[in-house]
Homo-oligomer: A and B are copies of this chain.
Amino acid sequence: MSELIRRLRDGLPEDAVLTDPDVTGSYSRDMADFCDAGTPAAVVLPRTVDEVQHVMRTATALRVPVVPQGARTGLSGAANASDGCIVLSLLRMDRILEISPADRIAVVEPGVVNAALSRAVEEHGLHYPPDPSSWEQCTIGGNIGTAAGGLCCVKYGVTAEYVLGLDVVLADGRLMSTGRRTAKGVAGYDMTRLFTGSEGTLGIVVRAVLALKPKPPQQLALAAEFPSAAAAGDAVSRIMESGHVPSLMELMDRTTLRAVNALNDMGLPESTEALLLTAFDTDDPGADLAAVGALCEEAGASHVVPAETRAESELLLQARRSVHWALEALPGTTMIDDVCVPRTRLAEMLEGTAAVSEKYGLTIGVCAHAGDGNTHPTVCFDPHDEDETRRAHQAFDAIMALGLELGGTITGEHGVGVLKREWLARELGPVGLEMQRGIKQLLDPLGLLNPGKVF
């Protein structure tokens, strides 16, 4: 037994240290199939804060890199193992420690699944908004690591806006508390937000205080078909300019609509160029939808179909949630991008993406959190065809370049991971990059936490 395994086992239960390569192999990567992943020396599955501290102390003593993991549903390779690392899976720390309806907070361990928390707080009349498409699998710890978004963000914002306080195990094994459990607080620098979205490169989140909202009425949706993506983008601008506050505003292009129908036979319109879904969870969603329907028609919608019941709405949302799997089921493989632009530039982003698709001769399916200007162009290619693979990477990069040109960001919600490291420098510029590296150096001086990610 190696010194590493022996020392890990010294402070962890027998079943918390996995070394069988057949087992540890299944912890080697997240859902970004096309990113490199290495072979871990061990996978550890602690159940307590003490055990996480033991893992980090051991890693520091032996200078072994540590890759923290949630449910591995990430899309940028941030949870991928590196050779010889310790994979630190937080899946067994899955307790909801507290739900307080009057304080509107929940206190949770990092391994709690997003949907489990959502359902638990719902029983108290409360609502935890962040809802990544993978919400049935992904964990709160992973959501915090990537500052994950979802479909709700256009009204309710991203994960980061719900993280009030954290307990974090630092690289050297010390425990640090950040933030608060109060509604407000400004004592010192905002370390909570620094850890949120840091993709496991600054510390291990072992406990989180999350803000909750009262449960809103169930949302009601409207589907509008457009003859061009640009017309749909124009509708988005008109709707937001008119002061509406939709609870969801999603766009699917023709490629995406066909893929979803092929997977599930959802009966989505295939002759339309872009379908815009808009929903409201207000007291009178029918009135909001009527106003939005009229704006869609002004922007050139060919058909406007309000859902008649909440069940019908739910079906539309299910169709949207299945997009990732539908595009994955197409022949070949896919590379999903995550560019976010100011929503007034959405039409240009969609038109530019179509031009990229044409230039590189590749299918690119686009779905978008349209209300946020956050597009997910998915490049489809045959990984066994060298030329096509090369073109796919060029197209992927061209999409990010276009996003930056339009005043956007290379990643709206998926994170940098290993996928977009080279692009981060372009977005941050030299001074920004230097300061971010300084923070990494401060919190992880030996470079053991998720090395090779983000920077």
Residues of chain B within 8 A of A174, CB atoms compared: 431
Residues of chain B within 8 A of A188, CB atoms compared: 416, 424, 427-428, 432-433, 436, 454
The closest CB in chain B to the CB of A341 belongs to B182
Contact A102:B240 (CB < 8 A) given known A186-B197, A373-B182, A373-B183: yes
CA distance in complex: A13, B193 (Å): 39
The closest CB in chain B to the CB of A238 belongs to B102
Within 8 A of B (CB), among A404-455: 407-416, 420, 424, 427-429, 431-433, 435-436, 438-439, 442-443, 454
**Of A19-27, A147-155, A255-263, A325-333, the one touching chain B:** A147-155
CA distance in complex: A116, B193 (Å): 29
B432 touches A191 (CB 8 A): yes
- Closest Cβ of chain B to A368, distance in Å, is 12
Chain A, 344-365, contact with B by CB distance < 8 Å: what is the 0/1 string? 1000000000000000000000
Within 8 A of B (CB), among A56-89: none
The closest CB in chain B to the CB of A282 belongs to B283
CA distance in complex: A154, B104 (Å): 12
**Of A38-46, A241-249, A272-280, the one touching chain B:** A241-249
Q: Is A7 close to B, CB under 8 A? A: no
Q: Is A378 close to B, CB under 8 A? A: no
A240 touches B104 (CB 8 A): yes
A343 touches B103 (CB 8 A): yes
Q: Is A187 close to B, CB under 8 A? A: yes
A149 touches B184 (CB 8 A): yes
- In-complex Cβ contact of A198 among B175, B180, B189, B373 (8 A): B189
Q: Is A267 close to B, CB under 8 A? A: no
Number of interface residues of A (CB under 8 A): 85
Within 8 A of B (CB), among A290-323: none
- Closest Cβ of chain B to A233, distance in Å, is 11
Contact A436:B184 (CB < 8 A) given known A103-B344, A174-B431, A240-B102: no
CA distance in complex: A241, B341 (Å): 38
Within 8 A of B (CB), among A117-141: 125
Central interface residue in A243, A374, A431, by most chain B CB within 10 Å: A243
CA distance in complex: A433, B189 (Å): 10
Q: Is A176 close to B, CB under 8 A? A: yes
Residues of chain B within 8 A of A102, CB atoms compared: 237-238, 240-241, 343-344
CA distance in complex: A255, B437 (Å): 52
B414 touches A103 (CB 8 A): no
Residues of chain B within 8 A of A438, CB atoms compared: 442-443
Q: Is A399 close to B, CB under 8 A? A: no
A191 touches B343 (CB 8 A): no
Residues of chain B within 8 A of A344, CB atoms compared: 100, 102-103
Q: Is A177 close to B, CB under 8 A? A: yes
Residues of chain B within 8 A of A175, CB atoms compared: 431
B160 touches A190 (CB 8 A): yes
Contact A189:B439 (CB < 8 A) given known A431-B170, A431-B174: yes
- In-complex Cβ contact of A414 among B186, B193, B424 (8 A): B186
- Can you list the 3 inter-chain pairs with the closest CB atoms, starting with the nearest? A214-B243, A193-B193, A183-B372
